């Protein structure tokens, strides 16, 4: 399994401004040796900026970066020993795959024979040994990104940075390469920072997920925790799907359309609030022809997602997403009246509309 | 049905081929007739006989050619060749790093750089001379009065053409991502330039060089008005004394330019052909800015 031989990476109070825009607003993040942390967030949340500061491709306006206990804040990119895979295809077009992989070794003055040998080894590690003599233009996008990964790993970096490496690929290649990256990362045991806007990717691959907004870290934790116990309404909204249902906070819980749900947050003042309810906490209990009630509505769409289906139900004053096994969803086609129930999972409430 | 369509295709293809042939022929006539006429004139003696006298005497004019390449060439052909070399080198050293740097770090200056580089195109050479004259008087008395100082003016003159050629080359690759990748792999800025950028814009560099060589070899106005004797100025002088030799030199200069063109494009073409289809889709991969 994982050898965990990487080094610790520490970002402390990092600040980066672009003119009047603050891209990073005091980001503090510690990545344990050999850990894979994914930074997740919408465009412009500062996740790529954080990665570029760590890589040395941009300079911080404040804060400190330490790798393995050594302060590298002022070090130029070419002296940092950090491997990086880019979003855009970044293979050098005038070199074949193994030459690309050997480039970093050449810059480190490794001898020609040793260079080629090591390049081929790393290409083998990413499963592309037979592509060693291909140019970038002769490879698919997925293969190019795998060579880029090999190139980043060949220099035996202390840290691996992945800047949305999968976003230019199609869905099937993406999930395969995602698992491949994780396998290689565990095999090498390298400390890794992975930046993505795709929550599925982040949740699937990372040891811990950091959700960012407006240059700040909103929550950092294991994927299951970030999903099931979002720390803030933003995280709840951004990670996974969420129903925003108006209710009222009272008796230490929140009353939503006649159901009393426990609260995640403590010390929420009583009064009206929006409860954030996951679709999987909404179930269809049965047909409700001619019936009425706060949780009775009309099915307006059924989205088939394989084993599960997502059903959109119109409750009159709002629409709610429910998630149920596809076998059960078949009983409730669009147009039918159904009765919903809310599972009493702890929920977050948002006081802003 | 299929047969009819096939014959339609065939007649279309024939028409296209005919059109191509005719166009090619017209272009060839347009270019070749004057050259043939010049060749004819320069090989005809006073009594209408065939002679190579003019061609042979090219080398007997020390003002035209004396095989004395050095910092202060005295003959016109030597001077023009040296000027072409110096101008091309200076242009590349000045332009390539500047353009790459602006693309990488100073994007907001790219419009200004483009404007400055294209400016010489809008200024007639004769106007340029008026501005250059006092500078060259100063240069002549304080630095050097060698004809090679013309390279300063020529670099300005070739700027617009070379800028365009290099800009096209740099536009075809993702300069930012490639250099960042190289930087993260430990490359110094010099290595980024020399090992990553230059090999990927080699064709653009060749094109720019070609343009600057052709421009310098054909330059007359500035040299003449700043009182230097380059090839074109000397040709005009010679024409008054001996038209036959003048025309012979002109044809020779043209042939030289052709040979140079072909040589440069062969040098530029070879590595690409060796790599077969690898390079044909150069830089066409999706290039996306980084978000987030």
Same domain assignment for residues B232 and B106: yes
* pLDDT tops 50 at residue B271: no
Same domain assignment for residues A145 and A260: no
Same domain assignment for residues B194 and B101: yes
pLDDT of residue B24: 95
Instruction: Kindly state the percentage of chain A with pLDDT values over 70.
Output: 97
In a domain, residue B11? The reply is no
Number of domains in chain B: 2
Distance from the B191 Cα atom to the nearest Cα atom in chain A, whole angstroms: 8
Same domain assignment for residues B27 and B150: no
In a domain, residue B119? The reply is yes
Same domain assignment for residues B125 and B190: yes
Same domain assignment for residues B181 and B254: yes
pLDDT in tens, A127-183: 888 888 899 889 888 889 889 989 998 888 889 999 988 888 888 888 888 888 898
Of all residues in chain A, the one with the smallest CA distance to B202 is A94
Helix axes A171-188, A112-125, angle to 10 degrees: 120
More confident residue, A334 or B178: B178
Same domain assignment for residues A246 and A162: no
Number of domains in chain A: 2
pLDDT of residue A352: 59
Same domain assignment for residues A127 and A163: yes
Question: CB contact, 8 Å: A238 with chain B?
Answer: no
Same domain assignment for residues B132 and B213: yes
From A235, A258, A285, the end of a domain falls on A235
Same domain assignment for residues B133 and B40: no
Mean pLDDT for chain A overall: 86
Mutate to test the interface with B, among A107, A156, A201 (most CBs of B within 10 A): A107
* pLDDT tops 50 at residue B222: yes
B178, B186, B282 ranked by CB distance to A90: nearest: B178
Listed range (A109-123, B142-156, B165-179) with the worst mean pLDDT = B142-156
Distance from the A154 Cα atom to the nearest Cα atom in chain B, whole angstroms: 9
Instruction: Inspect the interface and report whether the beta carbons of B186 and A82 lie closer than 8 Å.
Output: no
Same domain assignment for residues A27 and A131: yes
Mean pLDDT for chain B overall: 81
Half-sphere exposure in the Cβ direction for B237 (13 Å, CA) = 15
Range of the domain at B140: 62-277
Same domain assignment for residues B206 and B253: yes
From A192, A219, A235, the end of a domain falls on A235
Question: CB contact, 8 Å: B268 with chain A?
Answer: no
Same domain assignment for residues B205 and B154: yes
In a domain, residue B207? The reply is yes
Q: How far is Cα B96 from Cα B197, in angstroms, rounded to an integer?
A: 9
Of all residues in chain A, the one with the smallest CA distance to B275 is A135
pLDDT in tens, B170-191: 998 889 999 999 999 999 999 9
B186, B200, B283 ranked by CB distance to A107: nearest: B186
What is the CATH classification number for the domain harbouring A215? Answer: 3.40.50.300
> Edge-to-edge, what's the strand order for the sheet holding A70-71?
A21-31, A9-18, A62-67, A70-71
Instruction: Inspect the interface and report whether the beta carbons of B292 and A49 lie closer than 8 Å.
Output: yes
User: How many interchain CB pairs under 8 A, A with B?
Assistant: 125
In a domain, residue B284? The reply is no
pLDDT in tens, B72-99: 777 777 888 888 889 999 999 999 999 9
pLDDT in tens, B19-64: 999 999 999 999 889 888 988 888 887 788 888 888 888 777 777 7
In a domain, residue B238? The reply is yes
In a domain, residue A261? The reply is yes
Same domain assignment for residues B86 and B195: yes
Same domain assignment for residues A225 and A314: no
Cβ atoms of residues A254 and A344 within 8 Å? no
Half-sphere exposure in the Cβ direction for A103 (13 Å, CA) = 32
Cβ atoms of residues A6 and A190 within 8 Å? yes
What is the CATH classification number for the domain harbouring B87? Answer: 1.10.3720.10
Range of the domain at A182: 9-235
In a domain, residue B28? The reply is yes
In chain B, what residues touch A134 (CB-CB under 8 Å)?
A: 278
Mutate to test the interface with A, among B173, B176, B179, B184 (most CBs of A within 10 A): B184
In chain B, what residues touch A82 (CB-CB under 8 Å)?
A: 184
In a domain, residue B5? The reply is no
In chain B, what residues touch A44 (CB-CB under 8 Å)?
A: 291-292
Question: CB contact, 8 Å: B270 with chain A?
Answer: no
* pLDDT tops 90 at residue A229: no
In a domain, residue A3? The reply is no
Instruction: Inspect the interface and report whether the beta carbons of A197 and B292 lie closer than 8 Å.
Output: yes
Same domain assignment for residues B172 and B256: yes
A94, A107, A168 ranked by CB distance to B185: nearest: A107
In a domain, residue A1? The reply is no
Same domain assignment for residues A179 and A326: no
B188, B279, B288 ranked by CB distance to A168: nearest: B288
Same domain assignment for residues A312 and A173: no
pLDDT of residue B179: 92
The full length of chain B comes to 292
Question: CB contact, 8 Å: B234 with chain A?
Answer: no
In chain A, what residues touch B286 (CB-CB under 8 Å)?
A: 88-89, 141, 168
What is each CA distance from A267 to A251, A253, A257, B96, in whole angstroms? 11, 10, 22, 63
From A200, A235, A270, the end of a domain falls on A235
Mutate to test the interface with A, among B186, B188, B198 (most CBs of A within 10 A): B186
Question: CB contact, 8 Å: A19 with chain B?
Answer: no
In a domain, residue B285? The reply is no
Question: CB contact, 8 Å: B122 with chain A?
Answer: no
In a domain, residue A2? The reply is no
Confidence of residue B1 (pLDDT cuts 50, 70, 90): low
Same domain assignment for residues A247 and A230: no
Same domain assignment for residues A181 and A66: yes
* pLDDT tops 70 at residue B2: no
Mean pLDDT, to the nearest integer, of B225-234? 81
ipTM: 0.80
Which ranges of B106-201 does DSSP label H, i.e. alpha helix? Answer: 110-122, 125-142, 150-171, 175-184, 189-191, 198-200
Question: CB contact, 8 Å: A352 with chain B?
Answer: no
Of all residues in chain B, the one with the smallest CA distance to A97 is B278
In chain B, what residues touch A55 (CB-CB under 8 Å)?
A: 180, 184
pLDDT of residue A3: 42
Same domain assignment for residues B29 and B151: no
Question: What is the pTM for the complete model shown?
Answer: 0.76
Cβ atoms of residues A55 and A6 within 8 Å? no
> Exposure string (b/e) for B202-240, b if CB count within 10 Å is 16 or more?
bbbbbbbbbbbbbbbbebeebbbbbebbbbbbbbebbee
């Amino acid at each position: 399994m994982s050898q965990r031989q990487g080094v610790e990476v520490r970002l402390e109070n990092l600040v980066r401004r672009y003119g009047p825009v603050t891209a990073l607003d005091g980001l503090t993040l510690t990545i344990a040796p050999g850990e894979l942390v994914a930074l997740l967030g919408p465009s412009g949340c500062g996740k790529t900026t954080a990665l570029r500061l760590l890589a040395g491709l941009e300079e911080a306006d404040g804060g400190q970066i330490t790798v393995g206990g050594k302060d590298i804040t002022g070090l130029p990119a070419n002296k940092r020993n950090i491997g990086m895979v880019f979003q855009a295809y970044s293979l050098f077009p005038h070199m074949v795959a193994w030459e690309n992989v050997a480039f970093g070794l050449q810059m480190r003055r490794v001898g020609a024979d040793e260079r080629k040998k090591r390049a081929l080894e790393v290409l083998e590690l990413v499963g592309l040994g037979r592509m060693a003599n291909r140019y970038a233009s002769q490879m698919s996008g997925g293969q190019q990104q795998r060579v880029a990964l090999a190139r980043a790993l060949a220099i035996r970096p202390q840290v691996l940075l992945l800047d949305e490496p999968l976003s230019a690929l199609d869905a099937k290649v993406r999930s395969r390469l995602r698992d491949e990256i994780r396998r290689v990362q565990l095999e090498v045991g390298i400390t890794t920072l992975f930046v993505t806007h795709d929550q599925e990717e982040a949740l699937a691959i990372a040891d811990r997920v950091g959700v960012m907004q407006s240059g700040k870290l909103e929550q950092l934790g294991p994927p299951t925790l970030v999903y099931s116990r979002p720390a803030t309404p933003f995280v709840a909204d951004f990670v996974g799907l969420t129903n925003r249902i108006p209710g009222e906070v009272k008796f230490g819980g929140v009353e939503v359309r006649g159901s009393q749900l426990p609260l995640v947050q403590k010390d929420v003042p009583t009064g009206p609030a929006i409860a954030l309810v996951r679709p999987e906490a909404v179930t269809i209990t049965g047909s409700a022809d001619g019936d009425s009630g706060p949780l009775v509505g009309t099915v307006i769409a059924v989205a088939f997602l394989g084993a599960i289906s997502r059903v959109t139900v119109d409750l009159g004053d709002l629409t709610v997403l429910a998630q149920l096994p596809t076998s059960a969803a078949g009983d409730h086609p669009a147009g039918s009246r159904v009765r919903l129930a809310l599972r009493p999972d702890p929920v977050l409430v948002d006081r802003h509309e | 049905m299929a047969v009819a369509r096939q014959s339609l295709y065939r007649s279309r293809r024939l028409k296209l081929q005919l059109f191509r042939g005719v166009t090619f022929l017209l272009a060839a006539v347009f270019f070749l007739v004057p050259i043939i006429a010049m060749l004819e004139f320069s090989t005809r003696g006073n009594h209408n006989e065939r002679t190579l006298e003019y061609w042979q005497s090219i080398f007997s004019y020390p003002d035209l050619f004396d095989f004395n390449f050095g910092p202060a060439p005295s003959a016109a052909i030597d001077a023009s060749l040296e000027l072409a070399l110096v101008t091309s080198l200076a242009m590349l050293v000045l332009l390539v790093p500047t353009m790459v740097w602006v693309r990488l770090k100073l994007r907001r200056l790219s419009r200004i750089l483009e404007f400055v580089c294209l400016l010489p195109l809008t200024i007639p050479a004769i106007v340029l001379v008026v501005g250059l004259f006092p500078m060259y008087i100063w240069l002549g008395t304080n630095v050097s009065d060698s004809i090679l100082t013309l390279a300063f003016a020529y670099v300005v003159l070739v700027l617009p053409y070379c800028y365009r050629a290099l800009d096209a080359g740099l536009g075809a690759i993702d300069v930012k991502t490639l250099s960042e990748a190289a930087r993260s792999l430990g490359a110094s800025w010099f290595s980024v330039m020399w090992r990553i950028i230059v090999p990927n814009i080699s064709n653009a560099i060749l094109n720019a060089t070609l343009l600057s060589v052709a421009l310098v070899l054909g330059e007359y106005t500035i040299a003449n008005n700043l009182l230097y004797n380059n090839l074109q100025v000397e040709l005009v002088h010679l024409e008054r004394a001996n038209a036959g030799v003048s025309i012979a030199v002109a044809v020779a200069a043209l042939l030289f330019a052709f040979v140079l063109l072909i040589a440069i494009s062969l040098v530029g073409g070879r590595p690409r052909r060796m790599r077969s289809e690898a390079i044909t889709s150069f830089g066409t991969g999706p290039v996306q800015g980084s978000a987030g």
